[in-house]
Chains A and B, each alone.
Chain A
């Protein structure tokens, strides 16, 4: 088995601040994802990456940057935090071949912007 680790668990920022969230996986998966989950809502894809140094925009990429420095890690940057913003950011990973398409999720980073 493997695990996905997200740091930090809780992130409190100020309006306009640049904030970085990190994700590590030891599944040796090819593809990694960042989702945003707002309270009581579904998941919206921000960015994904199919291999090291690759980046693909999701449905919600505006206001975010991402970086896939190596196969096991995927970072997300909130470029300018919005006041009163509250959301959970979920990282996931998966194979991208054969019949193994299920995504494995980390526990999330909870963002609060004051």
Chain B
């Protein structure tokens, strides 16, 4: 069965600093991968997705992620964070049966002004 691990439960960075949020997955085939963001008291919103092709995918608000098959990873990056990026970020992998997703535990990002 597939699984997703986000090893950092909490990350704190200063505004303007670069960011990397880590995601490792376990899946036998080529995965479909997603990053979602959850702002306080809201549902999840899609940041970006990877299905195939270029391993670096661009998302909304300056976020990008890089797929690595050799490392079984899909890390999220941003060159310069803003205080409004403070939120919880979830990595997810699509189940091989339909559109069901398996989510990681999430990383809570705090951006210090």
Contacts and interface: CB of A to CB of B under 8 A. Distances in A.
Interface of A: 4, 31, 33, 40-43, 45, 48, 50, 90, 92, 94-96, 99, 101-108
Interface in B15-44: 32, 34, 36, 41-44
Interface of A is mostly: loop
B99 interface: yes
13 contacts: A31-B99, A42-B104, A43-B44, A50-B98, A90-B44, A92-B43, A94-B99, A99-B51, A101-B101, A103-B101, A104-B46, A105-B43, A108-B42
Given A101-B94, A102-B34, A96 B43 contact: no
Contacts of A48: 100
Given A105-B44, A105-B45, A107-B43, A42 B99 contact: no
Given A41-B106, A43-B103, A101-B32, A96 B45 contact: no
Contacts of B90: 42-43
